[in-house]
Amino acid sequence: MSAPRRAPGGFPVVGVIGGGQLARMLQAPALALGVQLSVLAEAADASAALVIPSAPVGDHGDLDAVCRFAASCDVVTFDHEHVPADVLAALEADGVALHPSPAALRFAQDKLAMRRRLSEIGVACPRWAQARTRSDVEVFAAAVGWPVVAKTPRGGYDGKGVRVLRGPEDLDVLDASGEWLEQVGAPGALADGILVEELVPFERELAVLVARSPSGQAAAWPVVQTVQTDGICTEVLAPAPDLDPATAAEATHAALRIAGELGVTGVLAVEMFQVARAAPGQADGHGDGAADGHGDGAADGHVPAQGQRPAYLVNELAMRPHNSGHWSIDGAVTSQFEQHLRAVLDLPLGDPRPVAAWTVMANVLGGDYAEIYPAYRHVMARDPGAKVHMYGKGVRPGRKIGHVNVSGPDLLDAQARAQHAADYLQGVIDE
């Protein structure tokens, strides 16, 4: 494994574990900042390896490969959250500057740990419990009401590792041979049990993106609305339309507080449910860690609210650049990717303000056409203002292969243009 070439002038090398599209999109701002990137890629044709010259191939779970890679970098960050804890611990013991740290990254890797910690610091979350048995799930459901949501604490993403249980009959799926409850206690994603949560009757989904540096600098982009289809984010509206300024301020404050309390360095995405705001003094069971989450499956979920419940509940955390922030490449003064590099290097953070009234991001998912370039040319000619970002990935149905950003003064126009471009690239339309 060869070391990356260093630029003159003492500029640092930032190592990225994982060669996906998030690492790929760090390359343009790295060039602008004068920073060298090196990526530990899964394969020679991985998304990031196609555009970053220093891209040795190695597995993120291979301790020797990861340590050799990190030895040539000044700081190391991540394209994903799946690096094993023992590998992270070894890097930390070797003195590698990791951003985020293993102590912080744990809360993105383990949903049970995340729920427990957010409840401890009083962040509004769905009611939840840790379940190891069928009875544990039944006790929780009796407390909060069916349906409930079951999640694998580790390894889930884009709707994977999530099941909605409509009633007791759905528990048969969880304890069928080889299914979730059979795996509880064994090494793997279900070693500590299953995370069960109430099914939240939310109004829409929001995301707050913030950045925090080792010296404690912090910045936040506007709160955005995310649109999910079959568990995959398909559209982002920046800023979230018709969002009450007080709710936006509360959600932003919560995200910045989470970043500080968990010691996050780099970009943090906080995914939220917008919910109806409870009246003052109304018991809601969300505002102060209502579910006990201590492993006995007996979440009481009835702790009275302290004052007025926020109009949001925190759903997920991601400690890296995130799909909800892709709009910022073209729609903000400083993109999430540039900001992430600034943050992990403890450089002064950039300006997160938007450059237009609205920016809409539409994800491009793989469709029926393996050859995308002709459609790409058409989209660019039809709408020169649409910014198309492709990830260099092979086309597979449902796979994220790119996104389109459209900015402008009119939200509906930006939505229509972004969706038209994405639909054409996906083969949904042909004109």
pLDDT of amino acid 172: 84
How do the pLDDT tens digits run along the chain, 431 residues long?
Answer: 668 888 889 999 999 999 999 999 999 999 999 999 999 999 999 999 999 999 999 999 999 999 999 999 999 999 999 999 999 999 999 999 999 999 999 999 999 999 999 999 999 999 999 999 999 999 999 999 999 999 999 877 666 789 999 999 988 877 765 678 878 888 888 888 999 999 999 999 999 999 999 999 999 999 999 999 988 899 999 999 999 999 999 999 999 999 999 999 999 999 999 999 765 444 444 543 334 443 333 343 333 333 456 899 999 999 999 999 999 999 999 999 999 999 999 999 999 999 999 999 999 999 877 889 999 999 999 999 999 999 999 998 889 999 999 999 999 999 999 999 999 999 999 88
Using the structure block, give the residue that is written with the tokens 């891209």. Answer: 55
Token duo for residue 169: 């009959």
Contacts with 317 (C-beta within 8 Å, 6 or more apart), sequence order: 107, 108, 114, 258, 268, 269, 270, 271
The three-class DSSP label of residue 231 is coil
pLDDT of amino acid 278: 65
The three-class DSSP label of residue 324 is helix
pLDDT of amino acid 288: 37
pLDDT of amino acid 178: 62
Count of CB atoms situated within 10 Å of the CB of 277? 17
Q: In whole angstroms, give the CA distance from residue 430 to residue 415.
A: 18
Contacts with 162 (C-beta within 8 Å, 6 or more apart), sequence order: 149, 150, 151, 152, 156, 231
Q: In whole angstroms, give the CA distance from residue 161 to residue 154.
A: 8
Q: In whole angstroms, give the CA distance from residue 339 to residue 350.
A: 6
Query: Taken in order 362, 365, 368, 370, is the CA torsion positive or negative?
Result: positive
pTM, rounded to two decimals:
0.92
CATH-assigned architecture of domain 204-276+318-426: 2-Layer Sandwich (3.30)
Q: In whole angstroms, give the CA distance from residue 157 to residue 388.
A: 24
β-strand partners of 148: 165, 198
The three-class DSSP label of residue 212 is strand
Q: In whole angstroms, give the CA distance from residue 199 to residue 202.
A: 9
Q: How does strand 13-17 pair with strand 75-78?
A: parallel
Helix (H) or strand (E) holding 253: helix 245-262
Using the structure block, give the residue that is written with the tokens 């090398």. Answer: 13
* Alpha helices per DSSP H over 94-244: 102-109, 111-120, 134-144, 171-174, 180-183
**Distance of alpha carbon 319 from the chain centroid:** 7
Q: In whole angstroms, give the CA distance from residue 373 to residue 368.
A: 13
* Domain chopping of the chain, boundaries: 13-98, 127-199+279-304, 204-276+318-426
pLDDT of amino acid 303: 30
With beta carbons less than 8 A apart as the criterion, state whether 13 and 4 touch. Answer: yes
Using the structure block, give the residue that is written with the tokens 């349906």. Answer: 147
pLDDT of amino acid 105: 97
127-199+279-304 CATH fold: Dna Ligase; domain 1 (3.30.1490)
User: What type of residue is 363?
Assistant: N
pLDDT of amino acid 305: 38
Token duo for residue 18: 């994982």
Look at residues 85, 83, 219, 200 and name the one whose alpha carbon lies nearest to residue 149.
Answer: 200
Torsion of CA 399, 404, 409, 412, to 10 degrees: -40
Among the four given CATH numbers 2.60.40.10, 3.30.70.141, 3.40.50.20, 3.40.190.10, the one describing domain 13-98 = 3.40.50.20
pLDDT of amino acid 173: 76
Token duo for residue 424: 């054409």
Token duo for residue 119: 């409840």
pLDDT of amino acid 179: 75
